[in-house]
Amino acid sequence: MAAEWWWKVLFLRIATPEQPYFIAFFPIENQRWLLSYIGVNKAYPPTREDEFTAALARLASPVVHEMVRRMEPISPVYPSRATRNRWRHYERWRTPLGRFVAIADAACSYNPRFGQGMSAAAVSAQILKDCLAAYGVGDPRLPRGFFAAQAHFQRTPWLFAAADDLRLPATVGNRSVSVRLFNWYRPKLVACPGRQVGACLGEVTHLMRPMSSLFAPEVVSRVLVAAMWRRIKATGRKASSDGLRPMPPGAE
């Protein structure tokens, strides 16, 4: 890795309608890097290596293409169009469930661009383990207790994935009040400076803390104050650029 590459991970979000792409580029084990190239609104990325590399050169930032150019590919380009978010609400069933349980994608699947599927499956497996210890294999309360606990956990990765996808006008789905609220709040959350808010967002994103942590009073207050100051500064810059003076004519 070149000395000037000081970052630990690179993300490129949609910049313009002409650049309908998300990029995630980050290191994994054994000095290898994983590159995800996600097209939006049927802007499918190319799958041939030469075309894929050429497409990287047309991104809004040249950094990703330059990094790839200095690296050696160790696999072909693996395409996927399985982008649907789907939550099967087994916890809402009213009929007897017998000994039926479902975890991972069988219960809730997410757009893979968020990278939460395997982590969510691991947490669900731990929830099932805890429920087995609490109820026992033959207890008829096990399925309902497990599904309720799993659904409580799934709210976090689900809101991250579904809400972010529903920001895009072409996405088909229910834009509930919670989704609209989170999509209003999330950009302010990401833009908020300071370690406390950044650490909280990182831990929630990686499923180490519940979504409710992002709405704790100390987090919300920092986010809203930072957003207010950004708006004040932006208004000041606009006033300066418009040639407005702080004093009325003749008052100097």
Residue 176's pLDDT is 82
Query: Which two structure tokens, joined as six digits, stand for 94?
Result: 């009213």
In a domain, residue 144? The reply is: yes
What integer pLDDT is reported at residue 214 of this predicted model? Answer: 93
Lookup: tokens for 110:
């997410």
Over residues 29-69, the pLDDT tens digits come to: 888 999 988 887 778 888 998 899 998 888 888 888 888 88
Question: What distance in Å separates the CA atoms of residue 99 and residue 61, rounded to the nearest whole number?
Answer: 52
pLDDT at 108: 92
Tell me which residue range forms the domain holding 190: 177-241
If you average pLDDT over residues 149-161, what whole number do you get? 90
Span of 83-97, 120-134, 171-185 with lowest mean pLDDT: 171-185
Q: Is the pLDDT of residue 216 over 90?
A: yes
3-state secondary structure 52-101: HHHHHCCCCCCHHHHHHHCCCCCCCCCCCCCCCCEECCHHHCCCCCCCCC
Rounded Cα distance between 102 and 146, Å, is 9
Report yes or no on 3 lying in a domain. no
pTM of the shown model: 0.74
User: What's the 3-state SS for the chain?
Assistant: CCCCCCCCCEEECCCCCCCCEEEEEEECCCCCEEEEEEECCCCCCCCCHHHHHHHHCCCCCCHHHHHHHCCCCCCCCCCCCCCCCEECCHHHCCCCCCCCCCCHHHCEECCHHHCCHHHHHHHHHHHHHHHHHHHCCCCCCHHHHHHHHHHHHHHHHHHHHHHHHCCCCCCCCCCCHHHHHHHHHHHHHHHCCCHHHHHHHHHHHCCCCCHHHHHCHHHHHHHHHHHHHHHHHHHHHHHHHCCCCCCCCCCC
pLDDT digits (tens, 9 = 90+) for 79-109: 888 778 889 999 999 888 888 999 989 999 9
In a domain, 76, yes or no: no
For residue 145, give the amino acid letter: G
Examine residue 200 and state whether it is found in any structural domain, yes or no: yes
pLDDT bracket for residue 16 (50, 70, 90): low
Cα separation, 63 vs 33, in Å, equals: 14
Model pLDDT, residue 24: 86
Dihedral over alpha carbons 223, 11, 27, 105 (to 10 degrees): 80
More confident position, 191 or 238: 191
Assigned domain for 162 exists: no
How confident is the model over 176-182, as a mean pLDDT? 86
pLDDT digits (tens, 9 = 90+) for 200-211: 998 998 889 988
Residue carrying structure tokens 């009213």: 94
Q: How many domains does the chain have?
A: 3
Tell me whether residue 171 is in a domain: no
pLDDT at 11 over 90: no
Choosing from 105, 129, 157, the residue where a domain stops is 157
The CA distance from 36 to 111, in Å, is: 13
Return the pLDDT at 88: 94
Per-residue pLDDT averaged across 151-171, rounded?
84
Q: Is 57 domain-assigned?
A: yes
Residue 25: its pLDDT value, please?
87
Report the phi/psi class of residue 115: left, alpha or beta, with left for phi > 0 and alpha for psi in -120 to 50: left
* Residue 227 and residue 182 share a domain: yes
* 218-246 tens-digit pLDDT: 999 999 999 898 888 877 655 444 443 44
211 inside domain: yes
Report the chain's mean pLDDT, rounded to a whole number: 84
Q: What pLDDT score does 131 carry?
A: 96
Of the candidates 104, 124, 157, which is a domain's last residue?
157
What is the C-alpha separation between 185 and 147, in angstroms, rounded?
29
Residue 96 and residue 146 in one domain: yes
